Amino acid sequence: MKKWWTFRGFVYLCFFVLLAFVWLIPIVFQVTTSFKSLEETYLKVQTILPRRWTVQAFRDAFSMIPLVRYYMNSLIVAGIVTVSVLATSTLAAYSFAKHRFFGKQILFLFILATMMVPFQVVMIPLYIIMTNLHLHNSYAGLVLPGVGSAFGIFLMTQFMKTIPDDLIDAARIDGLNEVAVFSRIILPLSMAATATLAIFTFLWSWDSFLWPLVVTDSERLRTIPVGMVFFQQTAGGYTIKYPHVMAISILAMFPTTVIFLFLQRYFVKAITLTGIKG
């Protein structure tokens, strides 16, 4: 029996090592290509490591487009959207999970139903609303459609249901009002789910392409995904400059990687606790 478990563990180890290797190949290729010269990427025989290392692609990326501006726009939009979603989702989830009121189940089901509506369906009405409110081509127009999240409300509600009601009742007996109960009891116990929601929301907002492309038409408000497309048009037209594209991609994924590394222990804890429960 012990030999069987040893063999089984070895098979699992080999499988996950192979899986990690397959997953890392595109990332390694992306990083090494960004340090290649443009001429080397056009050779018929490609190598993983550059024949001659150069940072020219990174220099060109900063000189050919206002990359810092795109970076700051993405950070501003993703940061505001993330904070807004965390605030609205935790407050709404506390009401749905720990309070009783008329029509709660119907309202919760209605919120869940909005998750089944593709964004492309509501994009044109959203654009008309933003235009009528004179928010087209503005930070407010970029941010407002994302300040609330049905997924965030669902995730936080299911997690908060696992918090014992006895803790809340004891806090109320000690004289805490609802604001104190929420800030001193509910939020600290929901840190794992909150961090998970923060990761997902920041990633979705940072990677958003369609809405920033539609609602903005000036260079000063372009985000990283939109800026990458315009960079390709500016730099090469129909010719793809692979080192430059890879260099910008690395710079674009840097903030999301840092945030995930910073919050990963909460993310793993949320999965371990299986916060999504009925």
Residue 244 confidence (pLDDT) above 80: yes
Domains of the chain, first to last: 60-272 (1.10.3720.10)
- pLDDT greater than 70 at residue 1: no
**pLDDT of 7 over the 80 cut:** no
Computed over every residue of the chain, the mean pLDDT equals: 84
22-52: pLDDT as tens digits: 888 888 888 888 888 888 887 777 778 888 8
pLDDT at res. 220: 86
- Decide if pLDDT at 135 tops 70: yes
Percent of the chain with pLDDT over 90: 19
Q: How confident is the model at residue 82 (pLDDT cuts 50, 70, 90)?
A: very high
Tens of pLDDT, residue by residue over 189-228, are 888 888 889 888 998 999 888 899 999 888 888 898 888 8
pLDDT band at residue 3 using 50, 70 and 90 as cut-offs: low
pLDDT of residue 117: 87
State the pLDDT at residue 5: 60
| Mean pLDDT along residues 96-105 | 88
What 3 state SS string does the chain have? CHHHHHHHHHHHHHHHHHHHHHHHHHHHHHHHHHCCCHHHHCCCCCCCCCCCCCCHHHHHHHHHCCHHHHHHHHHHHHHHHHHHHHHHHHHHHHHHHHCCCCCHHHHHHHHHHHHHCCHHHHHHHHHHHHHHCCCCCCHHHHHHHHCCCHHHHHHHHHHHCCCCHHHHHHHHHCCCCHHHHHHHHHHHHCHHHHHHHHHHHHHHHHHCCHHHHHHCCCHHHCCHHHHHHHHHHHHCCCCCCHHHHHHHHHHHHHHHHHHHHHHHHHHHHHHHCCCCCC
pLDDT given for residue 273 in this prediction: 54
- pLDDT on residue 94: 92
Q: Is the pLDDT of residue 2 over 70?
A: no
CA distance 214 to 223: 12
